[in-house]
Amino acid sequence: MRTKEHNIKEVRYLEIVFYPDKDDTLHVIPSNSPKLLPL
């Protein structure tokens, strides 16, 4: 239960963005940093 709540809080300040790439990779952009983090 703890981990689930933590995950929900993580999603709150993370923007999930889809890029139309060849392999349709999912990138997560933290609101405090403009860097792209590939999952």
Domain that holds residue 32: 2-38
Q: What is the pLDDT, as a whole number, of residue 3?
A: 57
Domain count, the chain: 1
Please name which of 13, 17, 23, 21 lies closest in space to residue 36, comparing C-alpha atoms.
17
Mark the ranges of the chain whose per-residue pLDDT is less than 70.
Answer: 1-39
- Percent pLDDT > 90 in the chain is 0
DSSP string, 1-39: -HHHHHHHHHHHTEEEEE---SS--EEEEETT----EE-
DSSP lists the bridge partners of residue 29 as: 15
Q: Can you name the residues that pair with 15 across neighbouring β-strands?
A: 29
